[in-house]
Amino acid sequence: MRTRTQVGIVGAGPAGLLLAQLLHRQGIDTVVLERQDEAYVRARVRAGVLEPGTVRALCDVGAGERMLRQGLVHGGFELRFAGRGHRIAMDELTGESITVYGQQEVVADLIDARRAAGADVEFEATVTEVAGTDTATPVIRYEQHGRTHELHCDWIAGCDGFHGVCRPPESPAYQRDYPFAWLGILASVPPSSDELIYARHDRGFAMHSMRSPTVSRFYLQVPPDTDLAEWPDERVWKELHLRLATDDGWRLAEGEVTERSVTGMRGFVSRTMRHGRLLLAGDAGHIVPPTGAKGLNLAVSDARLLGDALIRRYADGDEGPLDAYSDTCLRRVWRAQDFSQWMTGLLHRTEGAEFEQRAQLAQLAYVCHSKAASTMLAENYVGATGM
């Protein structure tokens, strides 16, 4: 089957869905192809910290109403080390706050907004090839429900993640693999804190996050080859108690663990986000360590930039923004990469002499007690870096 659209979008994550909504609202025809079924896409748990710019972007396309009602607005977060907590007051230092709202909820809202606007998503569509990207008529070949399809486009947006088919395998890139991973759990228990906690401990990093007033999210630093079978609930809670403990008697509430996973830590940046008529967005073009909460927010930033560039192209034939798309994206990506690497090093334990461990504690103390250092951290965390 042969069909045609103006912009073919591969991947129904935040980048692909936001881009589709931006273009659809300007009368630009789009088709969104997603390999998984809808139930899977709506359920997959990912990041949950939204920068102010991300919140505004979702509201601008009509996908922010539920987020504004249910999202948890945080004006700060806590750095915890040496048995004490230190609040980084983002609202006071930058005038901005973050919103805690799960990525799966963002995706669900964008799907619903697209349908409300009279469009839809092609689920269970497995893309097998992206061809002709160096021509004016690229094509996406995919299989859906036992049938083979060809989607002819003016432009292709590759929003299908690090393991998707859109990113050319021979494309040059920069990469760094970290010597640890995160064991993440979702638990049916009210948060034990009003704001996020990032904890540095001699046993390794720990984090207390949340998804709602009744659901909490936790992370533990573990080796990359960790087997989930070695981490029963009892061990998880014991380790969280140890790493999050404070001298003032703060207590962590336990609950039923409903999900667990191990996430590797890597930094990855493509040297270019554009390959002819194929433009990458989100994890297809870059991955950052999750410590700085930048992955989802970078994907949204990419989609906004790409959407604006394509709208300009169709409105008046101006290809300048498309020509600048890759360089513009990568400036912010490298800023986020640097921040995420710095914050990861600030909080994670690496094997080394006591000298390095003491220097890490000194740096944490400086960040917490210097207004200039705290402001730098807060500005980067809320995305107020002017990039």
Catalytic sites, residue numbers: 74, 198, 290, 294, 381
Identify whether the C-beta of residue 186 lies closer than 8 Å to the C-beta of residue 226. no
CA–CA distances in Å: residue 114 to residues 25, 58, 257, 350: 9, 12, 33, 45
CA–CA distances in Å: residue 292 to residues 55, 234, 305: 17, 28, 21
Alpha helices in the chain (DSSP H): 14-24, 38-43, 52-60, 65-70, 90-94, 103-116, 233-244, 295-316, 320-347, 354-369, 371-382
Distance CA 204, CA 91 (A): 29
Token pair belonging to 52: 């102010």
DSSP letter string, 175-190: EEEEEEEEEEEEEES-
Identify whether the C-beta of residue 55 lies closer than 8 Å to the C-beta of residue 343. no
3-state class of 64 per DSSP?
coil
